[in-house]
Amino acid sequence: MTDNPFPGDDAELPVRPLIFKGRGSTSNQSGRFERLQREAFDDGWAQEESETETPRLITEIIHDNSRSILHYNDSPDIPFDRSINPYRGCEHGCTYCYARPSHTYLGFSAGLDFESRILVKPDAAALLHQALSKPAYVCQPIAMGTNTDPYQPLERQQRITRQIIEVLAEHQHPLTIVTKSAMVERDIDLLAPMAAQNLARVFISITTLDRHLSRVMEPRAAAPQRRLQTLEKLAQAGIPCGVMTAPMIPALNDAEMESILQHAHDAGARYAGYVLLRLPLEVAPLFEEWLQHHFPLKAAHVMSIIRQSRGGKAYDAQFHQRMRGQGIFADLLAQRFRLAASKLGFMQERSPLNTTLFRPPARTANMKAKQPSPQGDLFE
Strand pairing category for 200-205 and 175-179:
parallel
Residue 376 pLDDT? 45
Q: How far is CA 299 from CA 22, 72, 277, 302, in A?
A: 22, 37, 14, 5
Domain contains 212: yes
pLDDT in tens, the chain (380 residues): 445 544 444 444 445 567 788 899 988 887 777 777 666 655 666 555 444 555 678 999 999 999 999 999 999 999 999 999 999 999 999 999 999 999 999 999 999 999 999 999 999 999 999 999 999 999 999 999 999 999 999 999 999 999 999 999 999 999 999 999 999 999 999 999 999 999 999 999 999 999 999 999 999 999 999 999 999 999 999 999 999 999 999 999 999 999 999 999 999 999 999 999 999 999 999 999 999 999 999 999 999 999 999 999 999 999 999 999 999 999 999 999 999 999 999 998 889 999 999 999 985 444 444 444 444 443 33
Residue 30 pLDDT? 79
Domain contains 10: no
Of the candidates 282, 281, 290, 219, the one whose C-alpha atom is nearest the C-alpha of residue 249 is 290
Residue 29 pLDDT? 83
Domain contains 350: yes
Domain contains 25: no
Domain contains 34: no
Domain limits for position 174: 56-363
H-run or E-run covering 131: helix 124-132
Residue 46 pLDDT? 55
Structural domain count, the chain: 1
DSSP code, position 152: S
Domain contains 18: no
Full DSSP string of 300-349:
HHHHHHHHHTTTTSS----TTTTTT--SHHHHHHHHHHHHHHHHHT--SS
Domain contains 310: yes
Domain contains 9: no
pTM over 0.85? The answer is yes
Return the CATH number at 247.
3.80.30.30
